[in-house]
Chain A
Amino acid sequence: MTTTPILRLRGIDKSFGAVQVLHDVSFDVRPGEVTALVGDNGAGKSTLVKCIGGIHPIDGGEYWFDGERVQVHSPREAAALGVEIVYQDLALCDNLDIVQNMFLGREKRRGLVLDDTTMEEMAARTLEGLSVRTVTSIRQQVSSLSGGQRQTVAIAKAVLWNSKVVVLDEPTAALGVAQTAQVLELVRRLADNGLAVVLISHNMNDVFAVSDRIAALYLGRMAAQVSTSDVTYSQVVELITSGRSGDLGLAHSNGVTA
């Protein structure tokens, strides 16, 4: 079964000053699927995600969303499309509570005044919908939460809105075994509910446990995007470390210079 991609990137280039981090990257994300984005440290995964989220403007290439070519220049424009990013560094405000963080930048108001009751209700319902029972009070400051709880808040923030694409940058990197399992379960559930999910992870077990497709970045180039069921563990590791594996991957990886 192949659904049409909701998010399509074609030929994305991105440089920071003289350093080109992304070269001609193409990337497809489909609804109802978890697409794993893998690659070595520094391969450009976070940069690609920030381009998707409108944090970094792209230098060249095409951004297609739901069959239309779009320009995304700011986080607000990405959010308006229905693209939500859970960043590696979470981007939560420690001095605000869970509800305030979930609605930051998109507060509900009645006239001039913040509508705290509505926001609290919606936040409680979303957390409950995600079967989150680990936080004691949603009026708790984020600074008092554990790593897993913070991750959960960040994910809940992403699905609170009518999002279509949710991108998670290494959501389990800092978590213990039990919390990792919980977050992965949550990731799978999002896709099963029809969202297009992008999961960045270093952990092959996690990738094979939840993903439908795997996209491998190698030194800023997209080495391959394949069905998880079509590849083996060691093929993916090869793609990550050398950019190719058998007939998969970049045509001549030794010709690629960083």
Chain B
Amino acid sequence: MTAAVVPEKPELPHGPGTPKKNGAAGAASLRSAARNYVDRVRGGELGALPAVLGLIVLCVFFAVLRPVFLSELNFANLLTQGAGSIAIAMGLVFVLLLGEIDLSAGYASGVCAAVLAILLTDHGWPWYGAAGAAILTGTVIGLVLGLLVAKVGIPSFVVTLAAFLGFQGIVLMLLKEGTNISIRDDTILAVANNNLPPALGWVLLAVSVGAYAAIQLRRSRNRRRRGLAPAPTALLAVRIGGLAALGAIAVHLLNQERSRNVIVDSLKGVPIVVPVIGVLLVAGTFLLQRTSFGLHIYAVGGNAEAARRAGINVAAIRTSAFVICSSLAAVGGIIAASRGNSVDPNTGGSNVLLLAVGAAVIGGTSLFGGRGRIVDAVLGGMVVAVIQNGMGLMGYSSGVKYAVTGSVLLVAAGVDALSRRRAVRR
């Protein structure tokens, strides 16, 4: 074909106007930022609001009824309890953004955990080899699921429902009809059981807040220099200060001694899973918010036909979302194996998938596609973990916990559906 190369410069049908200089006063622009936010919420774009409010209400509720909920030990437990399903939920966000679903993510994590355990314990592989193989297993699973959905055109609901059953069988076969394989590798065990040295916790926090502030300020400066309206300085200060304050409270609490018997075993510091989840959160957010790939995920989820007409390879985007989802499920499986000190046929089974989908949806990711962020998985995952943990402290049975978590998922999905109706009606 003889297609000409598109020149990089835009040709304006009219003389270029001067870009508007926007140097509004800080207070006014903060007020307008707040007003924009209120407008967005009114328009049905609730974002993280329900999850944050829910988290606060639940924490107050359990803290009043069971003061032990607020103990440092329980706080650390909450984080390690939630980490596995948060990792799976992060992967699900990619698939949910497309308006698809992966019902097999739980058992995919189980298959990957079984691969990890077999290679580590039965074959004596080093931890990095076994963990790499487990994640690669997830990648291959995602590739197969994604191609079946995107290329063959089977609805994701059906593909992953079939995989749900199939993987359950594969786990049983891998584990020789239900034996349990214990994990003895120190590095893998450390992921969900050990803590950072207290000083390192502070260093990591300082580096994270510093990097966040530097990126925000640089972007703001860049926009101002180019004559575009920057985010209000006050808003930046609130964001950076908020991150620093919350981080400092968390690190301080986690650095307290939480062992019941210090002489036997000292227990303090930020659990290692926290920076692991943090790295996934930053990487996933970068991918979704700052790259073309991420934008295309949103575009395909918002209007697949428009994306296709814009020249986006929709099938490739769909496939890669499933690849990311199952790979992150593998990470979730590794965390679960570490936390359980072993892998059994129930790893990744029972309510794992429901909790992960619940985490994403409660956090504000829409089941209808096109709306959601990686941080939703973390916020929603914390809500789910708080419910599980708090109700456990109150002495409720597993049955009640399941029923309540299921209801919360239903409420979150209801909020999602209603806010979407509201957005469409305008």
Contacts and interface: CB of A to CB of B under 8 A. Distances in A.
Contacts of B345: none
Interface in B1-53: 1-7, 9-17, 19-20, 43, 45
A240 B312 CA distance: 36
A182 to B, nearest CB: 15
Given A76-B311, A93-B307, A117-B222, A189 B10 contact: no
B306 A80 contact: no
A190 interface: yes
Contact of B13 (A92, A104, A109, A159): A159
Interface string A93-116: 111100010001111010011100
B283 interface: no
Given A77-B1, A79-B6, A79-B311, A104 B295 contact: yes
A91 interface: yes
A9 B99 CA distance: 39
Interface in B373-395: none
B301 A193 contact: no
A48 to B, nearest CB: 16
B13 A195 contact: yes
B292 interface: yes
B6 A104 contact: no
Interface string A194-225: 01000000000000000000000000000000
A185 interface: no
A47 B382 CA distance: 51
Contacts of B43: 143-144
A184 to B, nearest CB: 15
A94 B370 contact: yes
A115 to B, nearest CB: 10
A100 B295 contact: yes
Nearest to B5: A80
B6 A80 contact: yes
A87 interface: yes
A93 B298 contact: yes
B311 A125 contact: no
B19 A124 contact: yes
B290 A162 contact: no
A225 B290 CA distance: 48
A69 B3 CA distance: 10
A162 B11 contact: yes
Given A76-B311, A104-B310, A193-B14, A95 B302 contact: yes
Interface string B145-177: 000000000000000000000000000000000
Nearest to A125: B16
Interface in A70-98: 70-77, 79-82, 85, 87, 89-96
A129 B311 contact: no
Given A105-B312, A189-B14, A82 B4 contact: yes
Interface string B293-317: 0011011011101111111100000
Given A91-B310, A114-B290, A125-B12, 20 more contacts: A69-B2, A73-B1, A74-B311, A75-B311, A87-B309, A89-B305, A91-B305, A91-B306, A93-B370, A96-B298, A105-B311, A105-B312, A106-B310, A114-B292, A117-B226, A124-B19, A125-B16, A126-B10, A128-B19, A131-B14
- The 8 tightest CB contacts between A and B, nearest first, are A105-B310, A128-B17, A95-B302, A93-B302, A129-B14, A76-B311, A80-B3, A95-B370
Interface of B: 1-7, 9-17, 19-20, 43, 45, 222-223, 226-228, 290-292, 295-296, 298-299, 301-303, 305-312, 370-371, 423, 426
8 contacts: A80-B4, A94-B303, A96-B299, A114-B290, A120-B228, A125-B10, A161-B10, A162-B6
